[in-house]
Chain A
Amino acid sequence: MKTLSDSVIKNSYIPIMAEIQSIERLSKDEMLFRVHLPQPLNHHPGQFVMVGLPGIGECAISISSSPESGKILEMVIRKAGNVTGVLQQLKKSDLISIRGPFGSGFDLDEFRYKKDNGIKDIVIIAGGLGLVPLRSLIIPIMEHKSDYGRIHLIIGSKTPGEALFRSQIQTWRSQPDCSITELVDDPDLQEWDGDIGLVTEPIHKLKIDEKNTLVVLCGPPVMYKFVLMEIKMNFNIPDEHIFVDLERRMRCGLGKCGHCQINHVYCCKEGPVFRYSQLTDLAEALN
């Protein structure tokens, strides 16, 4: 085993510390954290970081800011367990720990519209907190809109109170060739100017060039099965052109600890973004 001794291997468990610039409450359980990093992470859209506090713990959080955001990193933290509960009690200028970025993410190059056989339509379907990681993909597309084809966004939430990033979504509406449908399952007696229903409902109305379309899905586990069924029933889109962003419990982020393993793949390494063609073989992926 002497071959391994060539260089000192980096301790990948030691995080960097980042300063909180602002915390904005988005809904009852969700807060948008904007932090300042000592150096840019250079992430891809759809990647995640391990966020936490030394002595308390870490959890996997999707990066929500654009890859072009430099030393600024945005993420939405939902109160789900111990660590997220503690993070939500932090204030401006407090430090938090960051490791990463981890995971596969999206390759923006594949989404760009190029002449001849380029991608003409991009369909992005987000349910609930699913919008958070997809925002890191939508922002660079919107900012360089002329490089991309038609964009179709379907964004669903349970109630108006849980709908995220509404004012930012409003700014996206002014982009050319961009259709946005916002829905809630239940208006819950609150003011709501969008549609009412499930994210599956507008799918059949999409006007797309099936052969040259990319579909991206992210949402709660129960959403995938029904959305995929609806897509398959109405369109003939190859499985390689459908991307699914999955959630698992992650401990190490390095493809070792086994907690995020779905059949033979590690969600933290090969995922969390998968092509549907990769998942058809993985029995546990969409359950």
Chain B
Amino acid sequence: MNAYLSNLNQIESWFFSLAEKQAFFLPRKTQGINYRFEFIDHQQPLDLFSYKPTILPPGKNIFPDGEILFTYNKDNNGHYHFHQGTAIHSQLLAGVRACDLKGIYLLDKAFSDGTKDSHYLQRREKTDIIAFNCTTPCDDHCFCEAAQSLDFQTGADIFITPLFPISSNKEVHKKQQCLLEILTPRGAELIKSLVSQKCSNPQKLIKQALENRPKPFGRQFLTPVKQLSKVIHQEDAESIYQQYAERCFSCGTCNLVCPTCYCFDTKDELNLDGNSGQKTRHWDACLNPGFAEVAGGHNFRADPAARQRHRVRRKFDYLPQRFEQTFCTGCGRCGRQCTTGIDIFDIVNDVYLSIQESKE
């Protein structure tokens, strides 16, 4: 594995040059208090390290809402002709944090399990990722270390670690050094246009940079995540889910902002000519009341507590059984963006606490 050193000034101009060649996304501050992955341009100064997780995770750029699965038309003889959906272009996602990198890794797993999902996997192939290491927790919602996604590197082409303490004064950062680890041949290709010098002792530098990380890093579960999964699998914990469901709006925000939620609904559209149309897919949310309804009206999860439990178990029990990984990355988005303050971190801790209490 090769590693290089460069400073933020150089990295910034490198990003601008990359952005001229392909669709290049980087987190940018919104008008309020959040961040969003957006196209970058020369007009805007870049905010490379101090941002917190974006409103939507970068994985959504690989699994876009409203994607066309196919289009069709019927000819004069009544024969149907089907055409592939949206053309897939290459893109570069920069500023992806370890938690979101793991989110993308888990989506890769889910979409290649069994029948492969051509749309996701082809777009994933054409997506390059430049990831950033975290030296401090993003805010008090984050629990990436507890969810085992801190330092996650798989799937990135280049992984950047800042070799300096992050401060609120961005000007002081400009000349500071960053270490760039090249993880794939595509990463080696990308780095060619960066002014940098080869680094001979990357491990030592990383170790130094990460030494001053706060310990523990972000919020911690009451028990290790493996144990937590076991408890969530075994315990009914009806009253806990009920308690959270009481203030839930069933609005689906927690699902839609989650880096590992990939459920979708499909929509078939007929053009006004009656002879052509398309099939699209749209992000769906298992917290929305209509999600588990079948034809005829029976709803398998009509109760909001059942939906809340389904969400928690999908992250900590169901999908882990299938893929041997916790499907919560600890990014904290669901808790951060829930208007009514429901945080999956609190729910799982409460489930754990409830059995501790019943044991006593």
A→B interface (CB under 8 Å)? 1-2, 4-5, 8-15, 17, 52, 54-59, 80-81, 84, 95, 97, 221, 247-249, 251-252, 254-259, 261-264, 269, 283-284, 287
| Residue of chain A at shortest CB distance from B279 | A13
Q: A54-B82, A81-B295 are in contact. List 7 more A-B contacts (CB 8 A).
A: A14-B69, A221-B298, A251-B264, A256-B262, A258-B263, A261-B310, A264-B318
A11 touches B84 (CB 8 A): yes
B117 touches A284 (CB 8 A): no
Give the shortest distance, in Å, between B315 (CB) and chain A (any CB): 12
- Does chain A have a CB within 8 A of B122? yes
A13 touches B69 (CB 8 A): yes
12 A-B residue pairs with Cβ-Cβ distance under 8 Å, sorted by A, are A2-B185, A8-B118, A54-B268, A55-B269, A249-B294, A254-B114, A256-B115, A256-B117, A257-B281, A264-B318, A264-B321, A269-B114
A4 touches B112 (CB 8 A): yes
- Does chain A have a CB within 8 A of B343? no
Q: What residues of B have a CB within 8 angstroms of the CB of A8 in the complex?
A: 118
A258 touches B268 (CB 8 A): no
B270 touches A284 (CB 8 A): no
A54 touches B264 (CB 8 A): no
| 0/1 string, B311-343, CB within 8 A of A gives 1 | 001100111011000000000000000000000
| Residue of chain A at shortest CB distance from B268 | A57
- Does chain A have a CB within 8 A of B47? no
Cα–Cα distance between A264 and B322 once the two chains are bound (Å): 8
Cα–Cα distance between A257 and B110 once the two chains are bound (Å): 10
- Does chain A have a CB within 8 A of B306? yes
| Residue of chain A at shortest CB distance from B122 | A9
A84 touches B295 (CB 8 A): yes
Give the shortest distance, in Å, between B300 (CB) and chain A (any CB): 6
A95 touches B117 (CB 8 A): no
Partner among B114, B184, B313 whose Cβ is within 8 Å of the Cβ of A263: B313
| Residue of chain A at shortest CB distance from B318 | A264
Cα–Cα distance between A284 and B300 once the two chains are bound (Å): 7
A12 touches B184 (CB 8 A): no
- Does chain A have a CB within 8 A of B38? no
A55 touches B262 (CB 8 A): no
Give the shortest distance, in Å, between B108 (CB) and chain A (any CB): 7
Q: What residues of A have a CB within 8 angstroms of the CB of B112 in the complex?
A: 4
A248 touches B264 (CB 8 A): no
- Does chain A have a CB within 8 A of B164? no
B→A interface (CB under 8 Å)? 69-70, 72, 74, 78-80, 82, 84-85, 108, 110-119, 121-122, 124-125, 127, 155, 184-186, 236, 262-266, 268-271, 276-279, 281, 284, 286, 291-296, 298, 300-301, 306, 310, 313-314, 317-319, 321-322
Q: What residues of A have a CB within 8 angstroms of the CB of B84 in the complex?
A: 11
Q: What residues of B have a CB within 8 angstroms of the CB of A247 in the complex?
A: 294
B264 touches A11 (CB 8 A): no
Q: Which of B70, B80, B313, B317 has the most chain A CB atoms closer than 10 A to its own CB?
A: B80
B295 touches A59 (CB 8 A): yes
B72 touches A54 (CB 8 A): yes
Q: What residues of A have a CB within 8 angstroms of the CB of B263 in the complex?
A: 257-259
Partner among B268, B291, B292, B306 whose Cβ is within 8 Å of the Cβ of A56: B268
A264 touches B265 (CB 8 A): no
Partner among A5, A81, A251 whose Cβ is within 8 Å of the Cβ of B265: A251
Q: What residues of B have a CB within 8 angstroms of the CB of A262 in the complex?
A: 300
B286 touches A258 (CB 8 A): yes
Q: What residues of B have a CB within 8 angstroms of the CB of A13 in the complex?
A: 69-70, 266, 279
Q: What residues of B have a CB within 8 angstroms of the CB of A52 in the complex?
A: 268
A1 touches B277 (CB 8 A): no
Q: What residues of A have a CB within 8 angstroms of the CB of B119 in the complex?
A: 11
| Residue of chain B at shortest CB distance from A57 | B268
Q: A4-B125, A54-B277, A259-B292 are in contact. Are A251 and B321 (CB under 8 A)?
A: no
Partner among A1, A84, A251 whose Cβ is within 8 Å of the Cβ of B125: A1
Q: What residues of A have a CB within 8 angstroms of the CB of B85 in the complex?
A: 11
Cα–Cα distance between A135 and B300 once the two chains are bound (Å): 26
Give the shortest distance, in Å, between A86 (CB) and chain B (any CB): 11
Q: What residues of B have a CB within 8 angstroms of the CB of A10 in the complex?
A: 116, 118
Q: Which of B119, B121, B266 has the most chain A CB atoms closer than 10 A to its own CB?
A: B266
Give the shortest distance, in Å, between A49 (CB) and chain B (any CB): 14
Cα–Cα distance between A269 and B186 once the two chains are bound (Å): 35
Q: What residues of B have a CB within 8 angstroms of the CB of A2 in the complex?
A: 125, 184-186
| Residue of chain A at shortest CB distance from B267 | A57
A284 touches B306 (CB 8 A): yes
| Residue of chain A at shortest CB distance from B300 | A284
Give the shortest distance, in Å, between A260 (CB) and chain B (any CB): 9
Cα–Cα distance between A261 and B268 once the two chains are bound (Å): 22
Give the shortest distance, in Å, between B312 (CB) and chain A (any CB): 12
Q: What residues of B have a CB within 8 angstroms of the CB of A17 in the complex?
A: 79-80
| Residue of chain B at shortest CB distance from A12 | B115
Q: What residues of A have a CB within 8 angstroms of the CB of B114 in the complex?
A: 254-255, 269
Partner among B80, B284, B300, B319 whose Cβ is within 8 Å of the Cβ of A264: B319
Cα–Cα distance between A249 and B293 once the two chains are bound (Å): 7
A248 touches B70 (CB 8 A): no
Cα–Cα distance between A97 and B74 once the two chains are bound (Å): 13
| Residue of chain A at shortest CB distance from B296 | A80
Q: What residues of A have a CB within 8 angstroms of the CB of B310 in the complex?
A: 261, 284
| Residue of chain B at shortest CB distance from A262 | B300
A254 touches B125 (CB 8 A): no
Give the shortest distance, in Å, between B73 (CB) and chain A (any CB): 9
Q: Which of A1, A221, A249 has the most chain B CB atoms closer than 10 A to its own CB?
A: A1
Cα–Cα distance between A56 and B319 once the two chains are bound (Å): 32
B265 touches A56 (CB 8 A): no
| Residue of chain B at shortest CB distance from A54 | B72
Give the shortest distance, in Å, between A268 (CB) and chain B (any CB): 10
Q: What residues of A have a CB within 8 angstroms of the CB of B79 in the complex?
A: 17
Partner among A14, A257, A261 whose Cβ is within 8 Å of the Cβ of B264: A257
